[in-house]
Amino acid sequence: MSILENPVLWAVACAVFALNLPFGFWRAGVLRFSRAWFLAVHLPVPGVVALRLACRLGWKPLTFAVLITAFFLGQLFGGYVRLFLTRLASPK
């Protein structure tokens, strides 16, 4: 079985994505490169490492690519949710 066919990898990727949604939401509301911004980007990293270790994914390069993509997509979509809700709540 190829590493890309591993259902555990995709389950962890979905968990990483979900973990990063609130942090992306937070990141989008603070000043770029401020302390809060760096915390919003870096606080989920230990959680991602813990998920990787708990699920025994190993350290193959392809798993890094999948999980890093899930990490940044979670941050991105969290920011989009904040943008969408802000525009929805603002008067026109």
Percent of the chain with pLDDT over 70: 99
Q: What is the pLDDT of residue 42?
A: 98
DSSP letter at 6 equals -
> To the nearest whole number, what is the mean pLDDT of the chain?
95
What amino acid is encoded at 76 in this protein? L
Residue 38: strand, helix, or coil: helix
pTM for the whole thing?
A: 0.92
Q: Categorize the per-residue pLDDT at 77 as very low, low, confident or very high, splitting at 50, 70 and 90.
A: very high
Q: What is the pLDDT of residue 91?
A: 77
Question: What's the pLDDT tens digit per position in 28-57?
Answer: 999 999 999 999 999 999 999 999 999 999
